[in-house]
Structure 1
Amino acid sequence: MPNLPKDELEVIFLSLVGVVAGIFLFWTGFRELKAKRIIQNTPTSKINTGAVGTNVEVKGRVIAEKDKMVRAPISGKPCALYHIEIQKWKRDRRSGFNRNRSFINMGERRGWQRGRWVTVAKYFSDDGFYIDDDSGANAMVLVEGATVNRNGGTSDYECSSNEFSTMDPELYQSLDQNKKKIRSFKLKDSAWLLSTDYRFREWCFAPGEQLYVLGHAGSNLKVKRPKKAGVKFFLKAKEAIRKNKELQKRFDANKDGKLDYYELERGAQLLAEKLSAKYSKEKLEELASKTKMVFKKENGYPFIISNRHEEDLVSNIGTWATVKIWGGPILTVASVAYLCSYYLK
């Protein structure tokens, strides 16, 4: 293969990225349009009468015990479950026109850089929650793989990759506990010259919050009993902090170089807590006895969780589907045209 000039390789690469991105947008647009039609054609059911084994649409409130709620790591709010999205700042290599033939960059501006935030990983604090619609039954929602379409603001935390060790302790602990779910992101300090900016975005599911859920409703209920972080585990966590300098640095809230009593206690509590222990044994048994269906990701079925009204949700999905269906082919054609114009100039 002949050695191509650097500019030519860059043109080919950017064009191929544009073509692939355009095809992907077109495909996801049709998938979202299909989801929109399913929402419109699926009537809202009561949990106790929904047809298990098919697409089911329900509306209910999140069930949570006050003394079993988790603490969201960024906002500090008590909630039934939180969702963290990890975004990386991707700086655009070009801005404006190149040789009067390149595309105009439409990204955000961050300081002197122009670029955009790209999602690299996401996770939920635990497996899911229960919802109740006052029909005499409840449903378990296992959130992994769901499309979350929320209305409302987020809590954000920004940090450079060379400063992860100075990150807020609660967020650091949350990321560390869920590292198996976010293998595409490494919680490790980088060198200053190789530093990258990250944004951590948090959504909370509040107790009693009204949610819309559409997905495949199964009946294969297998309840895991919560594990309690007892005194023995708490003491082990405290001992681990005493022996580990990195943990001491992480939980040193006032950054004075040493852990006082309260910082040590708080750090041990964070290590000892099991975020999935949202329900007491008694409450879990009560919920399990009334659970009619289980929502979870199934291939070939849409799985959507939203706090929007159905009309607002349909409008939101429809708008983005239209943008992708039309924008995908435009991006693909523009990328091919860009490549052709480079060689025909």
Structure 2
Amino acid sequence: MSSLSGDELEIIVICILGAAIGLYLFCTGFRELKVKRTIQNTPTSKINTGAVGTNVEVKGRVIAEKDKLVRGPISGKPCAIYHIEIQKWDKDGEADSRPSSISFDPLKKHTWRRGRWVTIGSYFSDDGFYIDDDSGANAMVLVEGAKVHRDGDTVNYECSSHQFSGMDAELYQSLKKSRKKIGSFKLKDTTYLFSKDYHFREWCFVPGEELYVLGYASSNLKALRPKKPGARFFVEAKKMIRKNKDLQNKLDSNRDGKLDYYELERGAQLLAKKLATKYSEKKLEELASKTKMVFKKEYNYPFVISNRHEEDLVSHVGKMAALKIWGGPALVIGCTIYFFTSFFH
């Protein structure tokens, strides 16, 4: 039996990978279809009357304290919580389900390049937030594992991996703080030769914004207690102050144009407290007394957060389901035909 050539091995790998992706798309398409039907079949409830222990759908406004807002690391926009999505440029496009595209890249000497942006990770700025629908009760939304569907523009930032240490300071600190949440992404400079292009997308959830939440509603009413700022927050606060001229000016109490040791220490302590907590202790006690349900990710239950109208959300999820259910088998068939025509023509 003769050994396979390099080109033949490449064809086999491509066909196996393509077929596996097609099967994955087919299976996830049915999950998307299940989410669509769940949205359609679950009536919108008021928080104070929703039945805990099952799927619940509510609409409510984001609760936030004005002096506890965070800043979007890319936009600088004050918000209750932000969501960052990390994408990597894939010039081959084998790992993504979207159609291949040809993109004009001004960073690459004004040339056209073939490929696509592939999402490799995402994270929220903290554990979650509260929503209120004027029913006399509120709900806690623990965002880990939620599928986010948003209307409105994102704020974007692009950077190559050999330039990570020189990226915007606030985004760098945000990524560093959340490094355990973002999977395979590594915030580490590479050499120029092995550099990869990355795209960071930011969504902000602003105070008072109306959100649609669908998910498993638990009756576990443990409030988010304020965290005591530890050494990690203190070190991060110092780094942020040293890199941010606006913060330095605010903390320069004697107005001599520079921060002395005591001004830096005092400022770092104040900033560390702000980094460590989202709601004041008084506000948390008030919210806990009115909390009827807690939304969180549960196995085999959809978990969706969206600012879209329900009809638009159903349409979007339905299109994605149809694309995967029909596109997956088409990809498997295409890879199978390519395999046989390559070896048995």
- TM-score tier (shorter): 0.7 to 0.9
User: What do residues 233-262 of structure 1 show as CA deviations (whole Å, max 9, x unaligned)?
Assistant: 987667x65xxxxx89x82779xxxxx847
Q: Are 2:37 and 1:43 equivalent residues in the alignment?
A: no
Identity %: 65
C-alpha spacing 1:107/1:237, structure 2 compared with 1 (3 Å) = closer
Distance 1:287 1:276 in 2: 18
Q: Which segments of 5 or more consecutive residues in structure 1 lack a partner in the other structure?
A: 95-104, 242-246, 255-259
Aligned pairs for 1:1-345 within 5 A: 3-92=3-92, 106-109=100-103, 110=105, 111-227=111-227, 229=229, 241=239, 251=243, 261=258, 268=268, 272=272, 274-275=274-275, 277-345=277-345
Question: TM-score, structure 2 length as denominator?
Answer: 0.86
Quote how far apart the aligned CAs of 1:142 are. Answer: 0.3
CA contact (8 A) 1:126 1:275 kept: no
Distance 1:164 1:93 in 2: 23
Distance 2:317 2:77 in 1: 28
C-alpha spacing 1:270/1:320, structure 2 compared with 1 (3 Å) = farther
CA contact (8 A) 2:83 2:122 kept: yes
Q: Aligned letter for 1:107? A: S
Quote how far apart the aligned CAs of 1:51 are. Answer: 0.3
C-alpha spacing 1:182/1:236, structure 2 compared with 1 (3 Å) = closer
Quote how far apart the aligned CAs of 1:288 are. Answer: 0.4
Distance 1:106 1:320 in 2: 17
Quote how far apart the aligned CAs of 1:228 are. Answer: 5.1
CA contact (8 A) 2:229 2:276 kept: no
Distance 2:319 2:235 in 1: 52
Q: Which segments of 5 or more consecutive residues in structure 2 lack a partner in the other structure?
A: 106-110, 247-256
Moved over 6 A (4+): 232-235
Distance 2:198 2:273 in 1: 26
Q: Aligned letter for 1:35? A: V
Distance 2:38 2:233 in 1: 48
C-alpha spacing 1:209/1:89, structure 2 compared with 1 (3 Å) = same
CA contact (8 A) 1:215 1:304 kept: yes
User: What do residues 181-240 of structure 1 show as CA deviations (whole Å, max 9, x unaligned)?
Assistant: 12411111001100000011111111100000000100112223212549x9987667x6
Question: TM-score, structure 1 length as denominator?
Answer: 0.86
Distance 2:311 2:52 in 1: 25
C-alpha spacing 1:2/1:58, structure 2 compared with 1 (3 Å) = farther
Quote how far apart the aligned CAs of 1:121 are. Answer: 1.1
Distance 2:270 2:2 in 1: 57
| Number of residue pairs the alignment of both structures matches | 322
C-alpha spacing 1:116/1:269, structure 2 compared with 1 (3 Å) = farther
- SS of the aligned residue for 1:295 comes to strand
Quote how far apart the aligned CAs of 1:272 are. Answer: 2.7
User: What do residues 33-56 of structure 1 show as CA deviations (whole Å, max 9, x unaligned)?
Assistant: 111111111111000000010110
C-alpha spacing 1:275/1:20, structure 2 compared with 1 (3 Å) = farther
